[in-house]
Amino acid sequence: MDKISLVVPCFNEQDNIVPFYDAILKVFDDIPAAFELMFVDDGSSDSTFERIQALHGKDDRVKCISFSRNFGKEAALFAGIRNVTGDCTVVIDADLQHPPLLIKEMYKLWKEGYQVVEGIKRDRGKESVIHGLFTKLFYRMISSAVKIDMANSSDYKLLDRKVTEELAKLKERNTFFRALSFWVGFKKTSVYYEVADRVSGHSKWSTRSLMKYAVKNVICFSYLPLHIISIVGIIFVLIALGIGIDAILSYFRNNAASGFPTIVFLMLIGFGGCLISLGIIGVYIAQIYDEVKKRPQYIIGRRIG
Ligand code: UDP
Ligand code: MG
């Protein structure tokens, strides 16, 4: 019999653990496969760990890796992926926003030979216009880097054992799971789902943390910001050349412009441009610094099962 591993990142999800477990049990009534439920407690400060421990007491298919502190969802996903034993792995949120019923369809597609089954959001749930614009820009950059349209992609997916093994081998610490699962290749297909409302608690994402997440991932996957700097630089050189030629011609025609405002304007734009460019380069260097330090992506404090 096939065994499906479920990787479930949890950060302060105490009230979702039991409803999530119940929902999974119900789904597996209809799936002819065994399962293991790998919760990854991402340094929760509530009783998430204790709730999981209690579940493990009555069902040893429930397992848990618990981090020494909050390392973030990416770290939790990768810790889960490195510790599963199933023939395939489903990565799913603990808050029931990813409808567990979809696992049935994902499993069916896996049986048909697909190695990566991506869950794609049919709509993006409740979001503001600005948020929508930023996500569009973000995904366009990432999509051009991985050469696949990633709009509406999510972290809800099924991965074959071969795929999780390859992902587990990656040595980078600043991971972006959603794009890396495209990047590794293999035979892919998609399933669509509606994002449900959270059962309990609230989203851990603030606008600030989302911005940081976006910048980090763009830098992980795209050199576009660096190319933009070069292109802007070239445009400036061309403009400078034009203005220079104009100045020389005016000089010979004896009508040199009294161009103080132009100079101030160009200097300010030039300085601004330099500083922004330095900032962008700085972010890449920071990321490189992070990687060369070779600190682990997460530290496991406790384990269950
Ligand atoms: N999560 C995590 N570590 C974090 C933040 C979130 O493991 O630092 C988990 C969280 O418990 C949930 C999933 O990641 O299972 C998605 O988080 P959330 O619901 O806050 O994000 P959203 O659904 O709003 O994108
Ligand atoms: Mg959620």
The band of 260, judged by pLDDT with boundaries at 50, 70 and 90, is low
Ligand 2 mean position to 248 CA, how many Å? 62
Examine the pLDDT at 256 and tell me if it is beyond 90.
no
165 and 28 share a domain? yes
- In 3-state terms, what secondary structure has residue 27? helix
> Same domain for 7 and 56?
yes
Q: How many domains does one find in the chain?
A: 2
pLDDT surpasses 70 at 138: yes
In this prediction the pTM is: 0.76
Whether residue 59 is found in the same domain as residue 117: yes
Q: Which residue has the higher pLDDT, 148 or 42?
A: 42
H, E, C per residue of 182-247: HHCCCCEEEEEECCCCCCCCCCCCCHHHHHHHHHHHHHHHCCHHHHHHHHHHHHHHHHHHHHHHHH
Between 76-80, 126-130, 238-242, the lowest mean confidence (pLDDT) is in: 126-130
Identify whether residues 271 and 300 lie together within a single domain. no
Task: Give the model's pLDDT for residue 127.
Answer: 66
Distances (CA, A) of 45 to 21, 28, 92, 149: 20, 30, 21, 37
Q: Which residues hold their Cβ within 5 A of ligand 2, which is an ion?
A: 95, 97
Task: With respect to residue 136, please indicate whether it lies within any of the assigned structural domains.
Answer: no
User: Is the Cβ–Cβ distance between 132 and 227 less than 8 Å?
Assistant: no
Rg of the chain on CA atoms, in Å: 25
Report yes or no on 138 lying in a domain.
Answer: no
CB of 251 closer than 6 angstroms to any ligand 1 atom: no
Q: Are residues 283 and 300 in the same domain?
A: no
CB atoms within 10 A of CB 221: 21
Q: For a pLDDT cut of 90, what percent of the chain falls above it?
A: 45
Q: Within a 13 Å sphere around the CA of 101, how many CA atoms are in the beta-carbon half?
A: 6
Q: Which one has a higher pLDDT value, 3 or 236? A: 3
Q: Which residues does 133 contact at the CB level (< 8 Å), separation at least 6?
A: none
**Do 160 and 107 fall into the same domain?**
yes
In 3D space, the residue among 125, 103, 302 whose CA is nearest the CA of residue 196 turns out to be 125
Please indicate, yes or no, whether residues 110 and 234 belong to a single structural domain of this protein: no
The ligand 1 atom at the shortest distance from the C-alpha of residue 94 is: 15
Same domain? For 194 and 300 the reply is: yes
60 domain-assigned: yes
User: Could you read off the pLDDT of 79-103 as tens digits, one per residue?
Assistant: 999 999 999 999 999 999 899 999 9
Both 93 and 52 in a single domain?
A: yes
Domain hosting 278: range is: 224-292
Residue 217 CB contacts under 8 Å (≥ 6 apart), including other chains: 138, 142, 176, 179
Same domain for 260 and 190: no
Contacts with 95 (C-beta within 8 Å, 6 or more apart), sequence order: 13, 16, 20, 198, 199, 200, 201
If you measure from the C-alpha of residue 251 to the centroid of ligand 1, how many angstroms do you get, rounded to a whole number?
65
